[in-house]
Structure 1
Amino acid sequence: MADISSITKLRELTGAGILECKGALDEVKGDFEKALDIIKKKGFAKAAKKEQRATAEGRIGSYIHTNGKLGVLVELNCETDFVAKNDVFQQFLKDLCMQVAATKPIAVKREDIPAHIIEEQKKIFMEEAKEKPANIAEKITLGKIENFYKEKCLLEQTFIKDTTKTIKDLLIANIAKIGENIKINRFARFEVGEG
């Protein structure tokens, strides 16, 4: 039998319903980590089912740093205007604005990064590894390209408020919490003095 504090903690971490949390804890005889995995997997399944649904509603969030020299706009889409007004959706949008301000991503996902930028990075990384044997230089370059994606693609970045999660993890968790498809459509980051 799952205890109320574990159910509450699991619900706070995942946004899943009380019965879903209780069921997951009962299924694994109270093992919190295993229950968390079950809920996360169900959240991924829910998100995958909703992924094809149209996201024609949403909001644009903004952040202006206190010194007035940094500003961010993020467009977050959802299926209905009702969800766009939801507190969970609004908080996620604020978190995304702060993330973009703090981490300077260049694209939402890796497919959005222009090919010429990736080619430039590969040349830089190959040059850095030129003293190594060709097969090792290639592996080093591929590893650095993966790290480049994790640093520059918003969905792959580590969340600034919780380094155990990526932005994609947060997106999936919010889709599961809200029950609608959510899409980070685009963002713009402006900083005084940057070209």
Structure 2
Amino acid sequence: MANITAAMVKDLREKTGAGMMDCKGALNETGGDIEAAVDWLRKKGLSKAAKKSGRVAAEGLVGVAVHGEKGVAVEVNSETDFVARNEEFQALVKTIALVAVEKGETDVEALKNQHYPGGAGTVADAISNAIATIGENMTLRRVSALSVSQGVIGQYVHNSIGDGLGKIGVIVALESTGDKEQLTELGRKISMHVAAAGPLALDAAGIDPAVLEREKNVLREKNAGKPDHVLEKIVESGLKTYFKEVTLLEQPYIHDNGKTVSQAVAEAAKTVGAPVALKGFVRYALGEGIEKQESDFAAEVAAAVSGEA
């Protein structure tokens, strides 16, 4: 039997909102596999917040930069949140984002090899110099870009600590020949929506097939025992509801819950003066997908004192 720790139970409870004993039972049933335990709770109808299952923590900053019809998002990680308040680190992230948007880079290694403005060397050299100066490890983790032939790249940064820097960074691509000022405002509002709602994809076609199959399996197992023809209708209906929750175009627009994002974009043509097409988005939340080891500060101090004695 797997060793189920209090930390594992706590992690699962935060991910799902299920009760402590339910979480412990789920972990026992799944041999300590957190993701399998999330699914187990969902199948039992005990998960209250399945969409939180991807939430993790890490430190550093997300940076966004827009230049003309191009925009980028980058994530640079550090060991502690203190570094995010360091002006040198902030300047580093901002400059890396500017280099990325200027060069149109979407590959981390290629971006590291680009010339770093104002210094002798590359982006990788600038990161190494910052590590040496600040005294903490840093990593350029990821970079994504969007572009349009006509239109704008909207942007929004949540928990902003500087221009284009924060904990969540979003860019959206709006294709249109309409008024740039109106388009920019629309792009900002949709970017705010993306930051708040956290869609998985633009539409159903953009959802990872593995994620879709996993959702189907959850629906089938929750309704096991029903006739096949009934089960398939339940799965079909359940997927429609799922798409409304996780695809940007079908989500209720946070600025007007009476319409979907798709409807809001279509209606924007009246004020923009031309049809508008939402072509894509990038949403970076600091640390998502990174396992971060929790530390017990009191225990560390006690161990240090014990070691000195």
**TM-score class normalised by the smaller sequence:** 0.5 to 0.7
Give the equivalent residue in structure 2 for 1:149.
243
Cα deviation 1:138-158 (Å, max 9, x = unaligned): 222111100111111111110
The answer to whether the aligner puts 1:79 opposite 2:177 as a matched pair is yes
| Structure number with larger C-alpha Rg | 2
TM-score (norm 2): 0.41
After TM superposition, where is structure 1 displaced by more than 4 Å over at least 4 residues in a row?
none
Letter in 1 for 2:170: V
TM-fit CA distance, 1:99: 0.7
Cα deviation 1:12-58 (Å, max 9, x = unaligned): xxxxxxxxxxxxxxxxxxxxxxxxxxxxxxxxxxxxxxxxxxx7212
The answer to whether the aligner puts 1:136 opposite 2:230 as a matched pair is yes
TM-fit CA distance, 1:131: 3.2
* In 2, Cα distance between equivalents of 1:179 and 1:69: 34
Q: 2:219 aligns with which of 97, 101, 125?
A: 125
For the Cα contact (< 8 Å) 1:159–1:166, is it kept in 2?
A: yes
**Aligned ranges 1:90-109 → 2 under 5 Å:** 90-109=184-203
Give the equivalent residue in structure 2 for 1:60.
153
The answer to whether the aligner puts 1:183 opposite 2:281 as a matched pair is no
For the Cα contact (< 8 Å) 1:56–1:79, is it kept in 2?
A: no
Q: Secondary structure at the match of 1:124?
A: helix
Q: What percentage of residue pairs aligned between the two structures are identical?
A: 31
* In 1, Cα distance between equivalents of 2:268 and 2:154: 16
Letter in 2 for 1:173: E
* In 2, Cα distance between equivalents of 1:72 and 1:95: 11
* In 2, Cα distance between equivalents of 1:123 and 1:66: 36
Give the equivalent residue in structure 1 for 2:210.
116
The answer to whether the aligner puts 1:69 opposite 2:167 as a matched pair is yes
* In 1, Cα distance between equivalents of 2:159 and 2:288: 18
Structure 2: where are the runs of 5+ without partners? 1-147, 161-165, 290-309
For the Cα contact (< 8 Å) 2:154–2:186, is it kept in 1?
A: no
Structure 1: where are the runs of 5+ without partners? 1-54
* In 1, Cα distance between equivalents of 2:242 and 2:267: 24
TM-score (norm 1): 0.64
TM-fit CA distance, 1:133: 2.8
Give the equivalent residue in structure 2 for 1:26.
none
Q: Secondary structure at the match of 1:107?
A: coil
Give the equivalent residue in structure 2 for 1:31.
none
Letter in 2 for 1:148: Y
- Of the two structures, which has the highest relative contact order with CA contacts closer than 8 Å and spacing of 6 or more? 1
Give 1 or 2: higher helix fraction: 1
* In 2, Cα distance between equivalents of 1:97 and 1:123: 32
TM-fit CA distance, 1:170: 0.7
TM-fit CA distance, 1:132: 2.6
Cα deviation 1:164-191 (Å, max 9, x = unaligned): 1111111110123323221111111111
Letter in 2 for 1:78: S
Letter in 1 for 2:174: L
Letter in 2 for 1:105: P
